[in-house]
Structure 1
Amino acid sequence: MKLRFRIQYHTVWGEDVRVIFQEDESHPLPLSTRDGSQWQGSCDYSPSDTEQIILYRYGIFRDDVCIRKELGAIPHAVYQGNAQQHQYLIEDCWRDLPAENYRYSSAFNDGYVSASPNRLSNNVGSCVTFRALCPGLRPQGLELGIIGSCNALGNWEYCRPIRMREAAPNVWQLTLDASTLKSPFEYKFVAIDEKTGAVKEWETRPNRLFQIRSLQRGETYLPAEAEVFFNRPPYRIAGTAIPVFSLRSEGSCGVGDFGDLKKLITWAIETGQQAVQILPINDTTMTGTWMDSYPYNAISIYALHPMYIDLRQLPMLKDEQEMKAFERQRITLNALSQVDYEKVNQLKRKYLHDIFLQKETTIVTTPQFKEFLQKNEEWLLPYAAFCCLRDQNGTADFRQWGKDSVYQAERVREMANPESPYHTEITFYYFLQYLLHIQLLDACTYGRNHGVIVKGDIPIGISRNSVEAWVEPYYFNMNGQAGAPPDAFSVNGQNWGMPTYNWQVMEKDGYRWWQRRFRKMAEYFTAYRIDHILGFFRIWEIPYHAVHGLLGQFVPSLPMTQEEIQSFGLEFDKESMTRPYINDTLIDTLFGENGHEIRHTFLRRMHNGRYAFRPEFNTQRKIQAYFAGKTDEASTDIREKLYSLISDVLFIADRDDPNKYHPRIAVQNAPAFLHLSAKEQQAFNRLYDHYYYQRHNEFWYHEAMKKLPVLLQATSMLVCGEDLGMVPGCVPWVMNQLQILSLEIQRMPKNPGREFGKLENYPYLSVCTIGTHDMTTLRGWWKEDPATTNRFYHDELHYWGKTPEEVPGWLCEEIIRRHLQCPSMLCILAWQDWTSMDETLRNPDINAERINIPANPRHYWRWRMHITLEKLMSLTDFNQHIHQMIVDSGRAEEKKK
Structure 2
Amino acid sequence: MEKHALLNSRHTGVLLPLFSMNSRDDFGIGDISSLKEWLEVLREMNFDLLQILPINEMPPQTNCPYTSMTAFAIDPVYLAIKDVENLSPEIKKTINSKEFGEKIKEFKQKDYIDYDGIKKLKFGLMWEQYNHFSLKFGPGSPEYGKFEAYMAANAYWLDDYAVFRRLKDLKGWTSWTHWEDGVRNHDHAALENFRKEQFFNIDFFKYLQWEIEKQWRQAREKAGKYGIKFFGDLPFMVSQESADVWSRQRDFSIDMEVGAPPDAFSETGQKWGLPAYNWPELEKNDFEWWRLKVKKFADFYDIFRIDHMVGFFRTWIIPRNPSLKPSFDILDPLAQENRGRNFLKAVLSASPMLPIAEDLGVIPDYVYRVLKELHVCGYKVLRWEKTKDGHYKEPEIFDEISFATTSTHDNEPMALWWEEVDRAERKRFWEMVSPKKGKVPLSYAKARDRVVEKTMKANSAFAVFPLQDLTASKERVNEPNTVGAHNWAYRLREDAGKFFKKNGELIAFLRKNAAERHEKK
**TM-score under structure 1 normalisation?**
0.54
Aligned pairs for 1:498-897 (under 5 A) are 498-545=274-321, 552-558=326-332, 696=333, 698-749=334-385, 754=390, 756-787=392-423, 789-793=425-429, 795-797=431-433, 803-807=440-444, 809-836=445-472, 843=473, 846=474, 849-856=475-482, 860-875=487-502, 876-890=504-518
Deviation at 1:755, TM superposition (A): 5.5
Secondary structure of 1:497's counterpart equals strand
Query: For residues 451 and 851 of structure 1, what CA distance do their matches in structure 2 show?
Result: 27
Amino acid in structure 2 at the alignment position of 1:850: R
Deviation at 1:374, TM superposition (A): 0.5
Query: For residues 519 and 259 of structure 2, what CA distance do their matches in structure 1 show?
Result: 36
* Residue of 474, 484, 495 corresponding to 2:250: 474
The one-character-per-residue Cα deviations of 1:453-496 (angstroms, maximum 9, x if unpaired) are 10111111121111111111111111221112345655543321
Q: Is 1:382 matched with 2:154?
A: no
Deviation at 1:450, TM superposition (A): 2.5
Query: For residues 874 and 363 of structure 1, what CA distance do their matches in structure 2 show?
Result: 43
After superposition, the Cα gap between the structure-2 partners of 1:450 and 1:411, relative to the gap in structure 1 and judged at 3 Å, is farther
2:191 match: 412
CA RMSD of aligned residues (A): 2.5
Which structure has the larger Rg over C-alpha atoms? 1
Deviation at 1:500, TM superposition (A): 1.3
Deviation at 1:892, TM superposition (A): 8.8
Asked whether the 8 Å contact 1:539–1:556 carries over to 2, the reply is: yes
Amino acid in structure 2 at the alignment position of 1:255: I
After superposition, the Cα gap between the structure-2 partners of 1:716 and 1:465, relative to the gap in structure 1 and judged at 3 Å, is same
Deviation at 1:800, TM superposition (A): 6.4
Deviation at 1:321, TM superposition (A): 5.9
Aligned pairs for 1:10-29 (under 5 A) are none
Query: For residues 457 and 396 of structure 1, what CA distance do their matches in structure 2 show?
Result: 28
Amino acid in structure 2 at the alignment position of 1:405: R
Q: Is 1:258 matched with 2:36?
A: no
Asked whether the 8 Å contact 2:287–2:346 carries over to 1, the reply is: yes
Query: For residues 415 and 266 of structure 1, what CA distance do their matches in structure 2 show?
Result: 46
Query: For residues 486 and 867 of structure 1, what CA distance do their matches in structure 2 show?
Result: 41
Asked whether the 8 Å contact 2:379–2:402 carries over to 1, the reply is: yes
Q: Is 1:309 matched with 2:95?
A: no
Asked whether the 8 Å contact 1:249–1:869 carries over to 2, the reply is: yes
Amino acid in structure 1 at the alignment position of 2:450: E
The one-character-per-residue Cα deviations of 1:239-298 (angstroms, maximum 9, x if unpaired) are 01111111110111100111111222222122110001111111112xx22xx1110111
Query: For residues 193 and 424 of structure 2, what CA distance do their matches in structure 1 show?
Result: 62
Structure 1 window deviating more from structure 2 (431-440 vs 748-757): it is 748-757
Asked whether the 8 Å contact 2:393–2:432 carries over to 1, the reply is: no
Aligned pairs for 1:131-530 (under 5 A) are 234-285=8-59, 288-289=60-61, 292-314=62-84, 315=87, 318=90, 320=93, 324=97, 325-362=99-136, 365=139, 366=143, 367-403=145-181, 404-417=183-196, 420=197, 422-487=198-263, 490-530=266-306
The one-character-per-residue Cα deviations of 1:123-169 (angstroms, maximum 9, x if unpaired) are xxxxxxxxxxxxxxxxxxxxxxxxxxxxxxxxxxxxxxxxxxxxxxx
After superposition, the Cα gap between the structure-2 partners of 1:788 and 1:478, relative to the gap in structure 1 and judged at 3 Å, is farther
The one-character-per-residue Cα deviations of 1:76-120 (angstroms, maximum 9, x if unpaired) are xxxxxxxxxxxxxxxxxxxxx23xx121xxx58xxxxxxxxxxxx
Deviation at 1:317, TM superposition (A): 5.4
Deviation at 1:503, TM superposition (A): 1.5
Amino acid in structure 1 at the alignment position of 2:216: L
Secondary structure of 1:328's counterpart equals helix
Asked whether the 8 Å contact 1:317–1:354 carries over to 2, the reply is: no
- Count of paired positions: 509
Deviation at 1:878, TM superposition (A): 3.1
The higher relative CO (CA closer than 8 Å, separation ≥ 6) is in 2
Secondary structure of 1:318's counterpart equals helix
Query: For residues 763 and 858 of structure 1, what CA distance do their matches in structure 2 show?
Result: 38
Deviation at 1:401, TM superposition (A): 2.0
After superposition, the Cα gap between the structure-2 partners of 1:526 and 1:801, relative to the gap in structure 1 and judged at 3 Å, is closer
Amino acid in structure 2 at the alignment position of 1:870: G
The one-character-per-residue Cα deviations of 1:843-866 (angstroms, maximum 9, x if unpaired) are 5xx2xx101111225573211112
Task: Determine which structure has the larger strand proportion and give its number.
Answer: 1
1:637 match: none
Secondary structure of 2:90's counterpart equals coil
Query: For residues 153 and 49 of structure 2, what CA distance do their matches in structure 1 show?
Result: 29
1:102 match: 4
Task: Determine which structure has the larger helix proportion and give its number.
Answer: 2
Secondary structure of 2:71's counterpart equals coil
Deviation at 1:357, TM superposition (A): 2.3
Query: For residues 411 and 449 of structure 1, what CA distance do their matches in structure 2 show?
Result: 48
Deviation at 1:786, TM superposition (A): 2.5
Deviation at 1:706, TM superposition (A): 2.3
Secondary structure of 1:410's counterpart equals helix
After superposition, the Cα gap between the structure-2 partners of 1:800 and 1:749, relative to the gap in structure 1 and judged at 3 Å, is closer
After superposition, the Cα gap between the structure-2 partners of 1:892 and 1:525, relative to the gap in structure 1 and judged at 3 Å, is farther
Deviation at 1:411, TM superposition (A): 2.9
The one-character-per-residue Cα deviations of 1:364-386 (angstroms, maximum 9, x if unpaired) are 64222111001111211211111
Gaps spanning 5+ residues in structure 1: where? 1-96, 109-233, 559-695, 837-842
The one-character-per-residue Cα deviations of 1:775-813 (angstroms, maximum 9, x if unpaired) are 111111112222454343554346767654432x23111
Query: For residues 234 and 386 of structure 2, what CA distance do their matches in structure 1 show?
Result: 23
After superposition, the Cα gap between the structure-2 partners of 1:790 and 1:551, relative to the gap in structure 1 and judged at 3 Å, is farther
Query: For residues 774 and 364 of structure 1, what CA distance do their matches in structure 2 show?
Result: 47
Deviation at 1:312, TM superposition (A): 1.8
Deviation at 1:335, TM superposition (A): 3.7
Deviation at 1:318, TM superposition (A): 0.9
Asked whether the 8 Å contact 2:441–2:447 carries over to 1, the reply is: no
Deviation at 1:882, TM superposition (A): 1.5
Asked whether the 8 Å contact 1:745–1:770 carries over to 2, the reply is: yes
Query: For residues 784 and 488 of structure 1, what CA distance do their matches in structure 2 show?
Result: 19
After superposition, the Cα gap between the structure-2 partners of 1:264 and 1:363, relative to the gap in structure 1 and judged at 3 Å, is farther
Query: For residues 309 and 380 of structure 1, what CA distance do their matches in structure 2 show?
Result: 17
Query: For residues 491 and 752 of structure 1, what CA distance do their matches in structure 2 show?
Result: 24
Asked whether the 8 Å contact 1:817–1:889 carries over to 2, the reply is: no
Structure 1 window deviating more from structure 2 (761-770 vs 875-884): it is 875-884
The one-character-per-residue Cα deviations of 1:24-52 (angstroms, maximum 9, x if unpaired) are xxxxxxxxxxxxxxxxxxxxxxxxxxxxx
Secondary structure of 1:879's counterpart equals helix
Asked whether the 8 Å contact 1:782–1:789 carries over to 2, the reply is: no
After superposition, the Cα gap between the structure-2 partners of 1:362 and 1:347, relative to the gap in structure 1 and judged at 3 Å, is same
Question: What percent identity do the matched residue pairs reach?
Answer: 25
After superposition, the Cα gap between the structure-2 partners of 1:869 and 1:363, relative to the gap in structure 1 and judged at 3 Å, is farther
Query: For residues 322 and 488 of structure 2, what CA distance do their matches in structure 1 show?
Result: 25
Query: For residues 712 and 396 of structure 1, what CA distance do their matches in structure 2 show?
Result: 37
